[in-house]
């Protein structure tokens, strides 16, 4: 993890400086609040007239909805990539782009019967890729350098789920590991190329979503298959980086800390104090407020209580644990900012 020694000597920090200072190991003016995955909700869509599925496909709509995370919720970040399917669509998967209360879903798997894993020509020019790059440019034009702009790419493990099918890929890791490794190696190039394009378009940091998740994948499988590739990606990505991995990842946080990533965005199944201890100062911790129980269905006071527990556990940046349910009340997410400011 990189280290910054920036301190606040002239009043409140800008949202961007606050977030990056914490991300890189420095001392911000207060605890930042941000998201590296989606915080879009139906209520935000209504407030800014930017609706799914258009927000996955139209750069102006995408950027307008991303801005709501800062302008309505008060977060220190802007993150326009609401789905996990942008690369999948560009690589030949059939995608159902969903609706206002349904996230996109990958419906076909072009690599399911393949062994050579050839990428389609010109995939970086596909509409589902260009929309993200254009939205990032619009956000940079609108907000300049005041707010952190977060790019997001899927990692090679998640892309292998999309391109091969989850079951097909996981079976290959056991019965045909050479095939699984070829898929990961080919798709690593997709993650890196898209990340670099997002940085050129205006992203300040990159979130790599790679779902070698607890309960599905063993920690040793992560160590042996994916950790070497993550080391390459985070060394070459060219910007501060965040890893997001769903589920209970307590048994692999120590391996994430070896990857060279600057920060880990983690879920409520992982105890914050344990994650901080496992990270051993090698990466920043972002998280980990529960979505279904707390943010979606909890009271304002329950959200504040969860935030205080995360802060007491040592979380460096306060955030929802994963992409929030689309019917989550804005008020509950605004409570994260209240907690970070020490308000009741």
186 vs 44, 94, 118, 127, 172, CA distance in Å? 37, 20, 8, 21, 15
What is the pLDDT, as a whole number, of residue 273? Answer: 95
Residue 9 has pLDDT above 80, yes or no: no
Which domains occur in the chain, in start order? 15-340 (3.20.20.210)
What is the pLDDT, as a whole number, of residue 133? Answer: 98
Question: 335 exposed, middle or buried (CB, 10 Å; 0-12, 13-18, 19+)?
Answer: buried
What is the pLDDT, as a whole number, of residue 115? Answer: 87
pLDDT band at 30 (very low <50, low <70, confident <90, very high): very high
pLDDT band at 10 (very low <50, low <70, confident <90, very high): low
Distance between CA 325 and CA 73 in Å, rounded?
15
Compute the mean pLDDT over every residue in the chain, rounded to the nearest whole number.
95
Q: What is the CA radius of gyration of the chain?
A: 19
The contacts of residue 148 (CB under 8 Å, 6+ apart) are 15, 16, 19, 20, 34, 76, 77, 78, 204, 205
Virtual torsion, Cα 266, 269, 271, 277, nearest 10 deg? -50
pLDDT digits (tens, 9 = 90+) for 49-91: 999 999 999 999 999 999 999 999 999 999 999 999 999 999 9
pTM of the predicted protein model = 0.95
pLDDT digits (tens, 9 = 90+) for 146-186: 999 999 999 999 999 999 999 999 999 999 999 999 999 99
Helices (H), 144-226: 156-164, 166-175, 177-201, 219-221
Residue with tokens 């880990």: 264
């Amino acid at each position: 993890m990189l280290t910054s020694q920036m301190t606040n000597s002239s009043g409140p920090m800008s949202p961007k400086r606050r977030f990056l200072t914490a991300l890189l190991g420095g001392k911000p003016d207060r605890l930042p609040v941000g998201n590296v995955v989606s915080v879009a909700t139906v209520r935000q869509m209504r407030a800014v007239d930017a609706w799914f599925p258009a927000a996955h496909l139209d750069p102006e709509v995408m950027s307008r909805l991303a801005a709501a995370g800062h302008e309505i919720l008060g977060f220190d970040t802007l993150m326009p990539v609401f789905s996990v399917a942008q690369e999948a669509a560009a690589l030949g998967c059939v995608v159902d782009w969903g609706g206002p209360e349904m996230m996109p879903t990958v419906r076909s798997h072009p690599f399911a019967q393949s062994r050579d894993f050839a990428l389609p020509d010109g995939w970086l020019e596909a509409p589902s890729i260009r929309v993200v790059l254009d939205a990032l440019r619009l956000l940079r034009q609108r907000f300049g350098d005041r707010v952190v702009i977060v790019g997001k790419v899927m990692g090679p493990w998640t892309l292998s789920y999309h391109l091969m099918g989850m079951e097909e890929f996981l079976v290959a890791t056991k019965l045909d590991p050479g095939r699984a490794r070829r898929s990961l190696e080919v798709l690593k190039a997709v993650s890196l190329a898209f990340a670099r394009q997002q940085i050129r378009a205006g992203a300040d940091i990159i979130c790599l979503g790679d779902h070698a998740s607890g309960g599905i994948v063993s920690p040793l499988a992560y160590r042996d298959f994916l950790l070497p590739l993550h080391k390459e990606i985070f060394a070459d990505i060219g910007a501060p980086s965040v890893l997001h991995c769903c589920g209970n990842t307590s048994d692999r946080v120590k391996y994430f800390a070896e990857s060279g990533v600057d920060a880990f965005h983690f879920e409520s199944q992982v105890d914050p104090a344990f994650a901080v201890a496992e990270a051993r100062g090698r990466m920043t911790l972002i998280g980990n407020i529960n979505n279904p129980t707390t943010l979606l269905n909890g009271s304002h006071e329950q959200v504040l209580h969860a935030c205080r527990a995360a802060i007491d556990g040592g979380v460096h940046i306060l955030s929802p644990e994963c992409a929030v349910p689309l019917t989550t009340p804005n008020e509950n997410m605004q409570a994260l900012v209240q907690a970070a400011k020490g308000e009741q």
